[in-house]
Structure 1
Amino acid sequence: MGRDAKRAKQARRDKRRREADGRDAGIPPFPEAEIERIWHAWNRAIDSGLMEDGAETKYHFTPDGKVLSVAVGRSGQVLANGERLTPSVAERLRREMPFLAPMVTFYENNQAAGRGLEGAPGDGVFPLPGYAPGPGPAPALDTDALEEARQATGALVRAGKVAEGVGAMVIPSQCGVLVAVGGRDGELYVNGHALTEAWAGRLRADLPDVASDVTRLQAVRAEWLDSPPADRTLDLAQCCTDPNCLGAH
């Protein structure tokens, strides 16, 4: 896979995360043109010998469509948007992207300490204050719906698709409940079924108040399916930070 194709795949994954988390609300569309411009800058940095082809890059977005992308060059120096992160470049980036000025300073300090990208947020959107919606109150748990979902999950266990003691996400709805588990085959199951487009549509229709959770789980499944098959028995519980989730973490 070429270097542009790899970055495009990474960008699509992060776009799915933002859409699934609801963090795109009120934010302009994904800045395709700016991303493409930065990819060309990285290609020039590779061609000039500043960085290795395939080096890890991290990128952060602002509400006004600006992008900060960083990597570590061959010499160990931090690069930002294809340039060495010199003091003058850092000052210019802070002027151009005031929302991300603290991130520029973070990478500048890391460079001074020889830490590269260590401790930086993961690839994708940097959570800017005021743009991530807070969770609403969890509805009362429908115990009958929970029992039905558990029985459906039990059928998957008996079929060998899901392990005993699987780590589940349990998200209550005004109309029922979502019980999501990872399968031994790398599949993501919700209420007893693989989370295909058709099943996701059915869940959104039946449980409209947790439609965004269904979309978020679809994004997780898409990431899983992009990777080689793996036992996902504990993945959901280990990564879940949903304050409305009633699963055991």
Structure 2
Amino acid sequence: MKKQRAERDARRQPGVRPAVAPPFPQAEMERVLRAWDRAVDTGLMEDGAEAKYHLTPDGKVLSVAVGKSGQVLAKGERLTPSVAERLRREMPLLAGIVTFYENNQLAGRGLDGESEDGVMPLLPTGAPDPMPPLDEKALADAQAATAVLVRQGKVSEPVGSMVIPAQRGVLFAVGGRDGELYVNGRALTRRWAEDLRAQVPDLASDVDRLQAMRAEWLDGAPEDRTLALAGGCTDLNCRTPH
């Protein structure tokens, strides 16, 4: 009785409104369910596989599952770097969860560890992390190494390059004419990726993301990737001249 009276009194106060659940995004859910049906029909996932759903008050839905080969699927697609970037643009309130599942996929953890299904609260927008001071020497070294690639004809003038700074060190990534991904003047092979993680440990997750991007590029036909990185970094601290 006291609870009912308190709720009634709150409704009478000007400017005080009881919390109202957002409308269920029925049409979007139906689209997602059809996407999962297509994933089953094309052999990406087992029929009846468990899927998780994250909803936002503005009607966006992120649904994830684990495919037959262990890869993470999002809304019926493989969670490749390009799909993850698109989902972060389309669902900014769920960008952090998209990144969580992307990192889980790299670590082979599937869907483990993320919050339960449900509606995500609207959080106040925070300011970006302060930009770390740019290591001018590291940047100059990376630019000089990339200039060698330009002279060799492997890279166009480095338009569309992605520059990610750390307190000490930098990642200077650029797409090659041959479809390769070069970072700090070298193709991002597994050995070079390991060296970069050791040299710039603060940017290890960025190396992981670039490595996944390179793998996606190499899965397709070779093409000129000169502008492939333009606008491809969603980190607010990322410097991407193009």
TM range (shorter): 0.5 to 0.7
For these two proteins, the number of residue pairs brought into alignment is 158
SS of match in other structure, 1:244: coil
The Cα shift of 1:146 comes to: 0.7
Q: How far, CA to CA, are the matches of 1:179 and 1:172 in structure 2?
A: 9
Q: Where do 4+ consecutive residues of structure 1 move more than 6 Å?
A: 25-28
- Say if 2:233 and 2:240, in contact at 8 Å, map to a contact too: no
Q: How far, CA to CA, are the matches of 1:190 and 1:26 in structure 2?
A: 20
- Say if 2:176 and 2:225, in contact at 8 Å, map to a contact too: yes
Query: Hey, what does 1:246 align to over in structure 2?
Result: 239
2:119 pairs, out of 80, 93, 99, with 99
Change (3 A) 1:181 1:27: closer
The alignment's C-alpha RMSD in Å is 3.7
For the pair shown, which has the larger CA radius of gyration, 1 or 2? 2
- Say if 1:182 and 1:236, in contact at 8 Å, map to a contact too: yes
Q: How far, CA to CA, are the matches of 1:135 and 1:196 in structure 2?
A: 31
Q: How far, CA to CA, are the matches of 2:162 and 2:130 in structure 1?
A: 17
2:222 pairs, out of 204, 226, 229, with 229
Q: How far, CA to CA, are the matches of 1:15 and 1:165 in structure 2?
A: 24
Query: Hey, what does 1:191 align to over in structure 2?
Result: 184
Unpaired stretches in structure 1, ≥5 consecutive residues = 33-61, 67-97, 101-127
> Superposed, which structure 2 residues align to 1:23-42 within 5 Å?
23-24=100-101, 29-31=109-111
2:115 pairs, out of 60, 63, 69, with 63
Q: Percent identity, aligned pairs only?
A: 50
Query: Hey, what does 1:3 align to over in structure 2?
Result: 42
Q: How far, CA to CA, are the matches of 1:149 and 1:225 in structure 2?
A: 23
The Cα shift of 1:136 comes to: 3.1
- Say if 1:163 and 1:184, in contact at 8 Å, map to a contact too: yes
State the one-letter code of the partner of 1:164. Answer: E
Change (3 A) 1:227 1:142: same
Matched, 1:158 2:235: no
State the one-letter code of the partner of 1:14. Answer: L
2:193 pairs, out of 189, 200, 203, with 200
Query: Hey, what does 2:136 align to over in structure 1?
Result: 143
The alignment's TM-score, normalised by the length of structure 2, stands at 0.54
Q: How far, CA to CA, are the matches of 2:140 and 2:115 in structure 1?
A: 42
Change (3 A) 1:171 1:31: closer
The Cα shift of 1:99 comes to: 3.3
Q: How far, CA to CA, are the matches of 1:164 and 1:180 in structure 2?
A: 13
The Cα shift of 1:4 comes to: 1.3
1:174 pairs, out of 156, 167, 174, with 167
Higher RCO (CA-CA < 8 Å; seq separation 6+): 1
Change (3 A) 1:223 1:183: same
